[in-house]
Amino acid sequence: MNKTISRYIRQNIKYPLLVEDVPASDLGMIIVIPCYNEPDVVSAVKSIYQSNRPPCSVEVLVIINGSDADPESVEIQNKKSYNDLHELQDLPDWFSLYVIMNNNFSDKKAGVGLARKIGMDDAVRRFVHEEKYDGLIVCYDADSNCDDNYLIELANVFQNPKVTSVGINYEHPIEGDEYSDEIYNYITQYELHLRYFIQMQKMIELPYAYHTVGSSMACKVDAYCAVGGMNQRKAGEDFYFLHKLIKFGGHEELNTTRVIPSPRISDRVPFGTGKAVGDLQASDSGMYKTYNPKSFLALEKLVKDLPATFERGSFSEDLPEPVLEYLNSIDGDRNLKMIKGNTTDYPSFQKRFWHWFDAFQLMKYLHFVRGRWYEDIEVKEIPWTYSKIENPDVKEMLEYFRSLYLEK
């Protein structure tokens, strides 16, 4: 066992071992599913083991979790999920299912981040038992489904030894009979916002323009331990976790398969898909608002000026006023001098700069400039200077952005 994994287990894993069964000798991936007040986690698990068999054994670890402050209805649903999962029969011989239930976490700690962490930490110990330090730890959600080639493509992408983590292509259902037309419209808008947000980053050539969706991510054991593992945030745990992995290096997009998250309304977390759909339903306009493209275009000038910034050792006074004011608010000049003082060439300067002005800084910048300089726009107003579609509706817009993701 390398020192990084050993140190992580010693310093970061605080909960007792969940699964004591000896792992299969060919265990290759462990899929962790947090489950809180979920009406149909059985379908999520079935979607995994009914997909095509991968070249390794697979374990699914469902962490049914609740807090001491939950209403009785949540505890009842959690117990039902536990019983329903234990009634599953005729599982394939390459697939193992483990279900852990704890309804008594403190309200302060309980949440999706803690549930993911407990399961993923247990996955570390199971892989270490078999000395498989490159085993795959996969995140999934209790209301998701997947394509038939999901497991095979996950196994395939990590055959490249340079790949340490992936974000998996996701597509919410945007039509059908399971939900109302209203819900399909709202989830279309929200996914459009997510994809537009990433595409604008790609357009201005930011180096961390990757989707961060909790049901659609995976990494190797050694990478998981190297970045400090999963956090315990009640929401946004996926964003923080994946961006640590992106900085670690070896992150890729897996776009040869799909995870299909649910579009249903949910109050499980304070923000995210379920909350966004619920807010749209309660709003007067029924139209999701997203970042103004001008905020990205202003930042593009900083990106393009970075080589000259390295040469000067200072930011250009010709940068747009919102960008200059934001840099001033985060002590940009002092940070730039520190970065410059610790690098001798442009590649190392560039790497250090984007480690400082990272995805978290981007979010802070966007919130800093919204309203004061750049008003949010409705998703139907997203500019189409790079699209050939005339007067598209939001569904056509989303399909276009999905196609951009599939382009390498």
Domain assignment present for residue 27? The answer is yes
How many Cα atoms sit within 13 Å of 236 on the Cβ side? 7
| Residue 141 shares a structural domain with residue 263 | yes
Domain assignment present for residue 250? The answer is yes
| Residue 253 shares a structural domain with residue 363 | no
| Residue 261 shares a structural domain with residue 225 | yes
Q: Which of 9, 253, 267 is nearest to 125 (CA)?
A: 9
The C-alpha torsion from 385 through 387 and 390 to 393, rounded to 10°, is -110
Domain assignment present for residue 220? The answer is yes
How many other C-beta atoms can be found within 10 angstroms of the C-beta atom of residue 126? 24
The rounded distance, in Å, linking the Cα atoms of 229 and 14 is: 12
| Residue 333 shares a structural domain with residue 228 | no
| Residue 109 shares a structural domain with residue 226 | yes
CA-only gyration radius of the chain, Å: 22
Look up the pTM and report it: 0.92
- Total tally of structural domains belonging to the chain: 2
Decide: residue 250, CB within 10 A, 0-12 exposed, 13-18 middle, 19+ buried.
middle
Domain assignment present for residue 226? The answer is yes
Domain assignment present for residue 277? The answer is no
From first to last of its 408 residues, the chain has per-residue pLDDT tens of: 689 999 999 999 989 999 999 999 999 999 999 999 999 999 999 999 999 999 999 999 999 999 888 999 999 999 999 999 999 999 999 999 999 998 888 888 889 999 999 999 999 999 999 999 999 999 999 999 999 999 999 999 999 999 999 999 999 999 999 988 998 998 999 999 999 999 999 999 999 999 999 999 999 999 999 999 999 998 889 999 999 999 999 999 999 999 999 886 655 555 555 565 656 666 656 788 999 999 999 999 999 999 999 999 999 999 999 999 999 999 999 999 999 999 999 999 999 999 999 999 999 999 999 988 999 999 988 876 555 566 678 999 999 999 988 875
| 8 Å CB contact between 154 and 256 | no
The rounded distance, in Å, linking the Cα atoms of 187 and 206 is: 26
Q: Return all residues near 392 (Cβ < 8 A) that are at least 6 apart.
A: 384, 400
Q: Supply the DSSP symbol for 356.
A: H
Domain assignment present for residue 198? The answer is no
Domain assignment present for residue 215? The answer is yes
The rounded distance, in Å, linking the Cα atoms of 374 and 227 is: 35
Pairing mode, strands 165-170 and 27-35: unpaired
How many other C-beta atoms can be found within 10 angstroms of the C-beta atom of residue 215? 24
| Residue 34 shares a structural domain with residue 68 | yes
| Residue 334 shares a structural domain with residue 229 | no
Domain assignment present for residue 12? The answer is yes
Provide the domain limits for residue 340.
Answer: 293-369
The rounded distance, in Å, linking the Cα atoms of 141 and 330 is: 36
Please report, for the domain that includes residue 154, its CATH number: 3.90.550.10
